[in-house]
Structure 1
Amino acid sequence: MPRVVVAVMPKPEILDPQGKAVLGALPRLGFSGVTDVRQGKRFELDVEGEVTDEVLARVHEMAETLLSNPVIENFTVSVEEPVR
């Protein structure tokens, strides 16, 4: 069964307090070399049949309507091969 992934991230101009909290915690936990962290959401949608342009358009509509807030978030839609 094919999987379509919607990755949702805050727009660059939007403050990301969760990302800043993670960025602050990393050095305290002994991790160095990270200069910025942005936290987002990932939705994995298993779809029936082939992933056609129509299916991707429908997922794009889902992302705009329910999965993201287009005012403050950007999203990408991609297709992953199922793990066997």
Structure 2
Amino acid sequence: MRYLARVSVVPKKAILDPQGKAVQASLHSLGYDEVRDVRLGKLILVRLEAQSPDSARERVDEMCRRLLANEVIEDYEFELEEDGTCGGG
């Protein structure tokens, strides 16, 4: 079975995020004063094959811990769904 994982990686709250602060300041200057915090991160799409959803979740979690996120300074989470795309592009 093919799966698509959408991995979101952002700086931990205790870590200074200068890019997020710059975006927040720009939003405020544009009149979006209700914005209280902005954290800039990355979205990683991973397509993989696995025998089951549980197996796919285990593999994606391992990928995150070993490579995709630096757990010292970043938090990650992911969503997993069956990949209905054709061709594997």
Root-mean-square deviation over aligned CA pairs: 2.1
Match of 1:40 in 2: 41
Unaligned 5+ runs, structure 1: none
Match of 2:10 in 1: 9
Unaligned 5+ runs, structure 2: none
Which one-letter code corresponds to 2:34 in the other structure?
A: G
CA distance in structure 2 between the aligned counterparts of 1:81 and 1:29, rounded to whole angstroms:
39
Name the TM-score, length of structure 2 as normaliser: 0.78
Percentage identity across aligned positions? 43
Matches of residues 17-32 of structure 1 in structure 2 within 5 Å? 17-32=18-33
Name the TM-score, length of structure 1 as normaliser: 0.82
1:14 CA displacement? 0.6
Judging by fraction of residues, say which structure has more strand: 2
Aligned partner of residue 45 in structure 1, secondary structure = strand
25-34 vs 15-24, which deviates more? 25-34
CA distance in structure 2 between the aligned counterparts of 1:27 and 1:9, rounded to whole angstroms:
21
CA distance in structure 2 between the aligned counterparts of 1:35 and 1:83, rounded to whole angstroms:
37
Task: Check the 8 A contact 1:2/1:51 in 2, yes or no.
Answer: no
62-71 vs 29-38, which deviates more? 29-38
